[in-house]
Homo-oligomer: A and B are copies of this chain.
Amino acid sequence: MAEIVDIARGALNAQPFSALLGTKLMQVDSTSLTLCLTIRDELRQQHGFVHGGVVSYLVDNALTFAGALRLGPKVVTGEYKINYLRPAVSGTLMARARVVYAGMTQATCQCDVYVTDGGAERLVAVAQGTIHRISEMAAELEPVFNE
């Protein structure tokens, strides 16, 4: 288990974009994990809310890391869908992702994003998507069928 934490934290720290934003690994077990991100002004859109793109990034990352818990570290997000529920203004964003189903080459995962500002957690967004093992996707990276 300590190994999973180390691998996940290592992968996160190896992402320049996650370093730019300030994402941290908050919790991880065999089928789920939580990423967190402290809200600051640089992460906002023009109405003062956290930019939806920040929430999306966090969902994308948490889904991928959840998939890696089953598929191993060489994974990419194939697709996902997100519903925004409430704007986030201040405090900390937490994205909790879990594996719903995993085969040999891909996993279906779900993610809930909360915001907490010292008090109760409020649900900000829900998402669902597919994670692929990269080795299985290698042929996809240089497809023969596309111009």
Name A's B-contacting residues (CB within 8 A). 11, 14-20, 41-47, 49, 51-54, 56-61, 64, 70, 76-87, 100-106, 108, 110, 123, 126-130, 134, 136-137, 139-141, 143-146
Contact = CB atoms under 8 A, between A and B. Distances in A.
20 contacts: A11-B46, A15-B44, A15-B46, A47-B76, A47-B134, A52-B61, A52-B64, A53-B53, A53-B60, A70-B145, A77-B84, A78-B83, A78-B84, A83-B128, A101-B126, A101-B143, A103-B145, A104-B143, A105-B139, A127-B128
Contacts of A57: 51-54, 56-57
A52 B81 contact: no
Given A42-B16, A43-B16, A102-B143, A76 B87 contact: yes
Contact of A17 (B15, B53, B128, B146): B53
Overall SS of chain A's interface: mixed
Contact of A58 (B14, B53, B105): B53
Contacts of A43: 16-17, 20
A128 B129 CA distance: 11
A57 B105 CA distance: 27
A36 B145 CA distance: 27
